[in-house]
Structure 1
Amino acid sequence: MHHTVAVIGSGLIGSSWATLFLAAGLKVRASDPAPGAEARMRAFITDAWPAMQALGMDKVGLEAGLSALSFHAAPEEAARGAGFVQENAPERLEIKRQTYAAIEATLAPDAIISSSTSGIMPSDLQAGMKHPERLVVGHPFNPPHLIPLVEVVPGRATSEATVEAALAFYRAIGKVAIRVRKEVVGHVANRLQAAVWREAVHLAKEGVASVEDIDLAVSAGPGQRWSIMGPSKTFSLAGGPGGVEHFLDHLGPAMESWWADLGTPRIDEAARKILIEAFGKPDAEAFRRMVAWRDAALLRRLKALAED
């Protein structure tokens, strides 16, 4: 496994990745041009560390973890000596390509570059690289130090060795890494949640239920099952002893009729008004409390699932 990781970009995603890497006992070389970036990253790691301890993922302790973090002004300096790079630059293709051009000057040819991009195709990222075979997308779900999923997506030029190495690296530090076999906009998980939200917006616009109740229909209903199994396995159990074949025979036509009736809303002024009225705009303290509540709830569920 790679023992030195470069984290390029130290916002919420980069800081969360750094927390996970440091807790796993890795050295992290970070870079971000924003003023005060290092202080914010260290504060984030300190605040997030108790979660690593609660999940049994802290191998070194906070003091040792923070001492294994170094911060550098330039991304190429952060990448020096790293065997794995987690890139979290802004979601703009030209910025990411500029970042790769800079860090390739100091990276060893066999070092892996993994982008946290949520939607840019890896083949587009690879254009102009000296070693495009070493780039993959390693898309996490926020926050990466808590949510297990990471989607590994190769581009057209990515080598099979890079894909296997990236999957092995992520799994070694406790991630649930899946391989996306074909490049599509949004990868897999974002498309799934976009599909659910599309119907949620449609139902709200049609006046079927309030935004709050639609959210509850998910979180108190299928969301409870989705935290332990995916939709296809869920429906295979719905078929009883006959399994998914029985489900398809008896409920497949009904499911198709629901699909045919699903909405295709736009985020127009009407949709914006409904959503904004439901949630408003929280102040900084209210936002902080909501994030803390979310992370604490995630932590309780992850701990419970780990005990199974």
Structure 2
Amino acid sequence: MTTINKVAVIGTGVIGNGWIARFLAQGHEVIAYDPSQGAEERTNKVIENVWPTLEKLGMAEHASKEKLKFVTTMEDAVADADFIQENVPEREQLKKDVLATIDKHAKADAIIGSSTSGIMPSTLQSGLTHPERVLVAHPFNPVYILPLVELVGGKETSDVTIQKAREFFTSLQMKPLIIQKEIEGHVADRLMEALWREALHLVNDGIATTEEVDAAIIYGAGLRWAQMGPFLTFHLAGGDAGMRHMLEQFGPALQLPWTKLKAPELTDELKEKVIQGCESHAGEASVFELEQKRNEFLVRLLDLVEDYWPASKI
């Protein structure tokens, strides 16, 4: 693998800052660019807040917060970078414009990853001079804790790029999942979107509150999914015969109207139900306090997952 030392991060919102934290924790030099006012100050605050969590997770011996540098132009950010992670808002033309600038000014052997959650890589790399080095590298929030990153190549992405990206993200203590066929939303977000749509219907129809929906996941499926995922969970539901018996017994239920995959209309009334429900559920806790609790929980949960399910195929 081409040695990756210097990393550029373009766009420093929640995802961009999460990437910065992970890159720094693994000892990389990070050059960041974001034209929004106060971006550098916000990033520095995030890094200070999450550094204790990164220390608990374990970081590279040469990790340092001092390896972060902000620059004033995108061209300066990418000029010497070995790997570039783009994280601008999820607007297709904006991303294509930014990637075109990156493609023009980056080194010939630099790999370019996009954090897009839904746009296909073939769309993003269209019209670029070096489309073969562009791929989707889609993480999950908080990026500095959650190990999954979906790697999706477009029609013109080279196999070498995919392999180098896989090796790089593995070196970041991540679990790169190579998606073999590009599709809008990739894999994980499509699964989460289906659950999200059903949750909105349950709230919209007055069947459950936001807190009740969350409880149904936290104390039920969520605990099992954290270890095994939906398929192996259902495999166990079939008893000694596993999935074979499970499908025979419960397969016919798939024809029943148990789900409403088409999202409900996001009316003002539904918005208020969801917003007020979440605010009531959160109580007096600020978002920062909830993030701290989430981070502590995820660190401990990841330890449990590795203890009980270490044989990951990714």
Alpha-carbon distance in 2 for matches of 1:196, 1:189:
11
Question: Could you say if the C-alpha distance between residues 284 and 251 of structure 1 is closer, same or farther in structure 2, counting changes exceeding 3 Å?
Answer: closer
Alpha-carbon distance in 2 for matches of 1:58, 1:50:
14
* SS in structure 2 at match of 1:194: helix
* SS in structure 2 at match of 1:105: helix
Question: Could you say if the C-alpha distance between residues 69 and 277 of structure 1 is closer, same or farther in structure 2, counting changes exceeding 3 Å?
Answer: closer
Alpha-carbon distance in 1 for matches of 2:172, 2:61:
10
Per the TM alignment, residue 150 of structure 1 is displaced from its structure 2 partner at its CA by 0.7
Deviations 1:220-246 (A, max 9, x none): 100001111210111112122212112
Structure 2 residue aligned with 1:78: 77
Question: Could you say if the C-alpha distance between residues 44 and 226 of structure 1 is closer, same or farther in structure 2, counting changes exceeding 3 Å?
Answer: same
Structure 2 residue aligned with 1:249: 248
Structure 1 residue aligned with 2:201: 202
Structure 1 residue aligned with 2:211: 212
Determine what percentage of the aligned residue pairs are the same residue: 41
Structure 1 residue aligned with 2:287: 287
Structure 2 residue aligned with 1:305: 305
Structure 2 residue aligned with 1:135: 134
Q: Count residues with an aligned counterpart.
A: 303
Structure 2: unaligned runs, 5 residues or longer:
309-314
Per the TM alignment, residue 109 of structure 1 is displaced from its structure 2 partner at its CA by 1.7
Structure 1: unaligned runs, 5 residues or longer:
none
Structure 2 residue aligned with 1:172: 171
Structure 2 residue aligned with 1:262: 259
Question: Could you say if the C-alpha distance between residues 43 and 272 of structure 1 is closer, same or farther in structure 2, counting changes exceeding 3 Å?
Answer: closer
Alpha-carbon distance in 1 for matches of 2:268, 2:88:
31
Alpha-carbon distance in 2 for matches of 1:163, 1:120:
17
Per the TM alignment, residue 279 of structure 1 is displaced from its structure 2 partner at its CA by 2.2
Alpha-carbon distance in 2 for matches of 1:219, 1:209:
15
Structure 1 residue aligned with 2:190: 191
Answer yes or no: is the 8 Å Cα contact 1:133–1:159 preserved in 2: yes
The yes-or-no answer on 1:3 pairing with 2:5 is: yes
Letter in 1 for 2:301: R
Alpha-carbon distance in 1 for matches of 2:34, 2:92:
17
Letter in 2 for 1:236: H
Moved more, 99-108 or 27-36: 99-108
Structure 1 residue aligned with 2:312: none
Per the TM alignment, residue 307 of structure 1 is displaced from its structure 2 partner at its CA by 4.3
Alpha-carbon distance in 2 for matches of 1:89, 1:122:
15
Alpha-carbon distance in 1 for matches of 2:208, 2:284:
29
Answer yes or no: is the 8 Å Cα contact 2:104–2:129 preserved in 1: no
TM-score by length of 2: 0.90
